[in-house]
Amino acid sequence: MPERTPMIAGNWKMNLGLKESRDLVKSIAEGIKAMGDVDVLVAPPFINIPAVKSAIGKSNILLAAQNMYHEKSGAYTGEVAPQMLLENGCTHVILGHSERRSIFSETSEMVNKRVEAAIKAGLIPIVCIGETIKEREAGKTFDILGAQLEGSLAYFIAKESISLSAIIAYEPVWAIGTGLTATPEQAQEVHKFIRAWLKDRFGGESSGTIRILYGGSVKPENAPDLMSMPDIDGALVGGASLTAASFLGIINYK
Ligand code: 13P
């Protein structure tokens, strides 16, 4: 089984001003110096990406955008193209976050176009999927997640191969910003399902290599138990990524 380097990713959502963003990144960079083999990533709002890139300096914090559009350029008011993210220092892009899906009506079909554009531009997509509480209670969790995977990863399915650097994030919608965390066992059950789905579609090398992050009320207190699960390879953190103390507490989960 290939080693999967854990990733702790901070999705700042629409939070933090310019100074707060720079200060936070500098504190994280200071704090992770002595820490071991964990990939650390931050995803600020678009407009603060250049400032965060310069605050990252020589530290190896990775930089992501929270979204992007699939076209290269043109009359798409308010949108940002893959190449613009690359030029501003992003290596990753979060796609299909549940807030984008529910508040901004983004569909798996749209996510799939962005996944394709990201890969073609040389950005690593972090593709988010997750079920609502209604869907979970109706026993539809795996049907919903299966459909989101099919739709959002259609580009890879058509090619019959997936980029080994692609990242999947499982974020149960009912656990985002609610303080309700999936238990480690609930999260593991879904991560195992996702890995089996990847194996079925793309074979053992892909399913063994691709990282699957968990997101939804991850905190320093629950990170160790979540991260001890065999198919949980990291965390996509919202609220607790906004202060150095709590984000470093998660990064330092061991
Ligand atoms: P919280 O950690 O605030 O629940 O947010 C999770 C999330 O949506 C990360 O993308």
1, part of any domain: no
pTM above 0.95, yes or no: yes
191, part of any domain: yes
Stretch 212-218: mean pLDDT, rounded?
Answer: 97
- pLDDT of 37 reads 87
- pLDDT of 164 reads 94
2, part of any domain: no
CATH of the domain at 228: 3.20.20.70
Ligand 1: which of 98, 176, 242 to mutate, most ligand atoms within 8 Å of CB? 176
- pLDDT of 107 reads 98
- pLDDT of 34 reads 64
12, part of any domain: yes
Q: Residue 216 Cα, ligand 1 centroid: separation in angstroms? A: 5
Q: Residue 6 Cα, ligand 1 centroid: separation in angstroms? A: 17
Model pLDDT for residues 129-160, shown as the tens digit of each residue: 999 999 999 999 999 999 999 999 999 999 99
Model pLDDT for residues 21-71, shown as the tens digit of each residue: 999 999 999 998 766 689 999 999 999 999 999 999 999 999 999 999 999
Instruction: Choose the catalytic residue: 106, 116, 135, 171.
Output: 171
Q: Residue 69 Cα, ligand 1 centroid: separation in angstroms? A: 22
In sequence order, which residues have a C-beta less than 8 Å from that of residue 164 and are 6 or more positions away? 205, 206, 209, 210
* pLDDT of 3 strictly over 90: no
Q: Is 191 an annotated catalytic residue?
A: no
Three-class DSSP category at 136: helix
* pLDDT of 174 strictly over 80: yes
Domain count, the chain: 1
DSSP 239: G
E strand map for 22-142:
39-43, 62-65, 92-95, 124-129
The helix/strand count (H/E) of the chain reads as 12, 8
